Amino acid sequence: MQLTFCGAAGQVTGSCFQFETGTCRFLVDCGLFQGARDAWELNVSPWPFDPSSIDFVNLTHAHIDHSGLLPRLYAEGFRGPVYATPATRDLVSVMLPDSAWVMNGEAERAARHGRPFVLPYRMEDARGVLALVRTVDYAEEFAPAQGVRARLQDAGHILGSAFVELWLGAGGRTVKVAVSGDLGQPGRPIVRDPAPLADADVLLLESTYGDRDHQPMEETIERLAVTLRRALEERQGLVLVPAFAVGRTQEFLYELNRLARAGRIRGPRVFVDSPMATEATQITARHFELFDDEARRLAGEPADGDSTLRVTYTASVEESKALNAITGSAIIVAASGMCDGGRIRHHLRHHLQEPRTTVLFIGYQVPGTLGRRLVDGASVVRLFGEEVPVRAEIATLEGFSAHADRSALLDWLRQMRKPPGALYLVHGEPVAAAALGARIGTELGWRSRAPAHGETVQLPA
Ligand SMILES: [Zn+2]
């Protein structure tokens, strides 16, 4: 039995792990690589496996760096089932067609400018792979192939997110493998805390924030309130919030709502300028059964008139363009979270050069993205072929992360009944994975390592 790290090894994105058991071959995740140009190359490079030979896929969650190459898998011959939670199914039903649509636009632009562009997949491939999704509830054991049992457990990261437990092999000898996917930070709004993992012979653990701890949530909310009051009330400016349409946008709106109800900010105008964020917000509201206790309580409490947020969801491109003319204080939330696509780029083009504008980052910025350049202090950026000077204030609130920080990752490991036989650190830049590995060694006395992209390891059998 063996495992190949086809993505998210030595980097954050492109989650894809291939397992071969002797009786079947399957993937956990099939995600898009994001970031610099060489990341995009990986999205169209040949896979180390034949997609038509993959028997099934277990999908941890809807984020595009975990799900975004499923349509390409379908385009190249995969026809097996994709197992996911019901909420993940609902979210990818919106996200994969959107991804295909965005890529198609990119291809058309490239064609107009005579640039070469390899399209990883088309809309019909997104629809095709969505028809293969089979839902499984949290904690429900299923047998996707002979000699494989599997279970999805709540990862507490975004709605529907899961870590995967796998029992591989038949008869007397089975190997238990666990794949963390992305783990959430305990105490986050809306979603529940990550479920515990009892044990695993082999564990693949995410390490996105393996080298640091988040600010405590109360401090983040305090800073959010201060930043918004300064930006909206003192400076009377716009606040642009680049946000992932799924997860982060809903959490951000939830926290804004709490601040408004508490009278900490005075009912600002909020525009959610992303059709996908709008749909994801509706899907979130439909999955009330997954809410944590606090979100249930808040949803049930009536708010008084003054303390409610005035949220407008733009639908058409015209409505989105109309936002360019907005003056005075308002908050615009738009995808993508790292500014490498989506409507946020239009808002940045119009408002980055305005000193009263605040760009508020609430998520991790992958190196090579426009978001990272802004966070790193770029004074000029290129948008739509134009040089745009950066005069806006750039603010970062890291505590908003939907990822577990270093302490939370260590705590999650600590509640295991025994150390895993092999521990691989994935989904992290090399610095973060190395720092987490060092800390795991000193605090828990466990060995771990970060596998290389494309590396194959034998599973104990
Ligand atoms: Zn994620």
Judge whether residue 15 has pLDDT over 60: yes
Judge whether residue 202 has pLDDT over 80: yes
Measured in Å, residue 192 CA sits from the centre of ligand 1 at: 15
Which are the contacts of 342, defined by CB distance < 8 A and separation ≥ 6? 102, 245, 274, 334, 335, 336
pLDDT (0 to 100) of residue 155: 97
Which are the contacts of 231, defined by CB distance < 8 A and separation ≥ 6? 237, 238, 239, 329, 358, 360, 393
How far apart (Å, rounded) are the C-alpha atoms in residues 25 and 6? 13
- Closest to 204 in 3D by CA, of 341, 360, 29: 29
Measured in Å, residue 363 CA sits from the centre of ligand 1 at: 11
Judge whether residue 360 has pLDDT over 70: yes
Q: In the beta sheet, which residues pair with residue 310? A: 269
- Closest to 405 in 3D by CA, of 160, 176, 250, 220: 220
pLDDT (0 to 100) of residue 106: 84
- Distance set, CA 257 to CA 46, 159, 337, 455 (Å): 46, 19, 20, 46
Residues 81-102: what's their mean pLDDT?
A: 94
Tell me the pairing of strands 142-145 and 148-154.
antiparallel
| Average of per-residue pLDDT values in the chain | 92
**pLDDT: which is higher, 30 or 290:** 30
Measured in Å, residue 433 CA sits from the centre of ligand 1 at: 17
Measured in Å, residue 303 CA sits from the centre of ligand 1 at: 31
**pLDDT: which is higher, 36 or 360:** 360
Judge whether residue 128 has pLDDT over 80: yes
Measured in Å, residue 16 CA sits from the centre of ligand 1 at: 13
Measured in Å, residue 191 CA sits from the centre of ligand 1 at: 13
- Kindly state the DSSP code that residue 233 receives in the 8-state scheme: I
Measured in Å, residue 144 CA sits from the centre of ligand 1 at: 23
Residues 8-31: what's their mean pLDDT?
A: 95
How many other CB atoms are found less than 10 A from the CB of residue 219?
A: 12
Measured in Å, residue 182 CA sits from the centre of ligand 1 at: 5
pLDDT (0 to 100) of residue 301: 67
Measured in Å, residue 87 CA sits from the centre of ligand 1 at: 14
Q: Lowest-pLDDT range, 1-15, 82-96, 287-301, 417-431?
A: 287-301
Does the predicted TM-score (pTM) go above 0.85? yes
